[in-house]
Amino acid sequence: MLIDIVANKPLQNYYLEDHYGNIINFESGKEFDTLYAWYKLVIEYTGSKLTIEDIKINGSELGSMIYTGWFLEEKSRNKVCPGTTLYTQGQFEIYIHPNVGLIWQTITESIVNNDIGTSLFEKYIHTVDAPVILSTDYPEPVRGFFAHSNAPRWWRKNSIITPYEILDPHVLADISRNKLHDEMIEMCEFNRDSKKWAWPKRGVELKGGRRCYRSSPYINKQHWTELDDLPGEELKKLCKRVGFKRMLAVTLQTQYPGETFAPHVDAHYEQETKMHLQGPCSFVLNLAEDTSEHYFKVSQAGLIPLDHGTFFNFNYCHATWNNSENIRPLAILFGERDNEINWYLNN
């Protein structure tokens, strides 16, 4: 690949970073060997204002596509987009590929043309589906699902195709996870997960399971529950706080160390009911004090955080994996959100 970075002054510190975090140093304007893969191009601020005017890949100008990159401020960790001017400690970041046509395809399918050059983070989220490697002791379908990576891309917010939405940490600041956990334990009997979908690693006995309220193998319009009719005051508080209008099902999934849940799409809703469940509408929150090494992946978008509270789009294939040494209780809430969804299939 040949990368030529055009700037208003000579460059100093810049490099590529692959999906595994490996650094590839290169010299601007000189060809070098790379894999046929996506890379993050990083250009660091080095003490004086720098403006990136264009980036050429294999002789082809990115032109306005450089405005899909951003400037990451070192101190605040804010991402400024467009970010082609480096003005303080931090770095410019943009994802590129040796196939320039693939860059154009990915961006034009993700972003409305008139939005390029504007503050993209106001209307879009950006995802990087980086590979996660599981040991060979885990089932091959789960290993392959987590190991496969998709193109970095932008997604319009509040759309039928938005993969997930992360809540600000302050939204759940006064929600007691211990109280919520106790209430969810009381609401229903514990049922062991089916071996058809819950897969432990080699040598581990399946112990995980779930407690469900108003759920069934086939959910229909008769299963709606008004928020005030939910059991547990903390559960009611949580559902109202995150913006649910009414609920279909409330589940506490308990995943033991070394257990996974198979890649799947939630398809057990009648069509009439599913019309109310589009976009990111399934809420997940890890109720453990320590949520590390509990992974939840949404296909095409990558890992989602479980400690802040996240809505995800169950129309995408998803799977979980507990790589910790502790039990991970995961609250999963299904219901109708009080929001408006853009029903267009593209941006």
pLDDT at 344: 65
Would you list the domain boundaries of the chain? 3-122, 164-337
**Alpha-carbon span 84 to 87, nearest angstrom:** 9
- Domain 164-337 is classified in which CATH homologous superfamily? q2cbj1_9rhob like domain (2.60.120.620)
More confident residue, 187 or 16: 16
The domain 3-122: what is its CATH number?
2.60.60
pTM summary value: 0.91
**Alpha-carbon span 331 to 320, nearest angstrom:** 13
Residue 120 predicted with pLDDT over 70: yes
Residue 211 predicted with pLDDT over 90: no
pLDDT interval class at 188 (50, 70, 90):
confident
Residue 218 predicted with pLDDT over 60: no
pLDDT at 161: 93
Q: What are 233-253's pLDDT values in tens digits? A: 999 999 999 999 998 889 999
DSSP assignment of 112-153: -GGGTTS-GGGTEEEE-----PPPTTS-HHHHHHHH-----E
Q: Is the peptide bond before 82 cis (omega within 30 degrees of 0)?
A: yes
pLDDT-wise least confident of 192-196, 202-206, 286-290: 192-196
Helix (H, G, I), strand (E, B) or coil at 108: helix
**Alpha-carbon span 177 to 171, nearest angstrom:** 13
Residue 166: exposure state from Cβ atoms within 10 A (0-12, 13-18, ≥19): middle
Residue 28 predicted with pLDDT over 70: yes
